[in-house]
């Protein structure tokens, strides 16, 4: 995809480059609605692997450099720094990693709740791996949100009323089991 074509963040970017995918990954840090294309998802997985490689190397060098003549391993500062860095990276990336996997499942027209299959002992990770390999399905658009930039209001595209109508019904109490009133009217019973 040409880099001069703008694709809104609430739409998947098919054919994303490494940089575009990582940028969108952090822009949609905790966004669980919408979809993520296969290219977005797999470029981000490569990025996460590369980032985690840094503390793994630090830990390996720290452990290798701390073996004494009797074969005992005493962790040195480098190994502890690598462990701490790994923990910080893990904590910082857990939410966006979950979110992009959730959106990737949406792109294949599956509920993000399928992610919880990862907790199936032994095969959960394999199941999620296979599900993220599935091709995009146009029916996954049902998970998209339509964003009104003037009001900052997100809505599911299946609702057939305007944002103004929704806000009016919210203000007047319609849909909440309250009597319908005109805005600004006080009803005393």
For 36-90, how does the pLDDT look when each residue is reduced to its tens digit (9 = 90+)? 999 999 999 999 999 999 999 999 988 877 777 777 777 788 889 999 999 999 9
Distance in angstroms (rounded) separating the CA atoms of residues 47 and 139: 28
Give the pLDDT confidence score for residue 37 in this predicted structure.
94
- Structure tokens belonging to residue 114: 């399928």
* Tokens 């805005």 sit on residue: 183
Q: In this model, does residue 1 exceed pLDDT 60?
A: no
* Tokens 């990862």 sit on residue: 118
This prediction has a pTM of 0.71
Q: Which of 6-20, 27-41, 143-157 has the lowest mean pLDDT?
A: 143-157
Distance in angstroms (rounded) separating the CA atoms of residues 35 and 14: 10
Return the CA Rg of the chain.
24
- Structure tokens belonging to residue 16: 């994303």
Q: Which residues contact 90 (CB under 8 A, 6 or more apart)?
A: none
Residue 107's pLDDT band (cuts 50, 70, 90)? very high
């Amino acid at each position: 995809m040409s880099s001069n074509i703008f694709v809104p963040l609430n739409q998947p970017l098919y054919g994303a480059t490494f940089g575009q995918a990582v940028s969108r990954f952090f822009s949609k840090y905790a966004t669980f609605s919408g979809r993520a294309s296969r290219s977005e998802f797999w470029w981000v997985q490569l990025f996460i692997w590369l980032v985690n490689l840094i503390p793994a190397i630090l830990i390996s060098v720290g452990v290798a450099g701390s073996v004494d003549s009797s074969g005992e391993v005493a962790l040195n500062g480098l190994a502890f720094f690598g462990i701490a860095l790994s923990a910080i990276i893990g904590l910082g990336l857990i939410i966006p990693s979950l979110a992009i996997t959730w959106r990737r499942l949406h792109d294949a027209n599956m509920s993000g709740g399928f992610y919880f299959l990862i907790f199936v002992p032994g095969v959960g990770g394999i199941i999620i791996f296979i599900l993220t390999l599935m091709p995009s399905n146009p029916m996954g658009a049902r998970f998209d949100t339509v964003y009104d930039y003037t009001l900052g209001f997100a809505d599911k595209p299946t609702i057939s009323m305007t944002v103004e109508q929704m806000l009016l019904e919210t203000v007047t109490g319609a849909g909440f089991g309250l009597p319908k009133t005109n805005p600004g009217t006080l009803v005393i019973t």
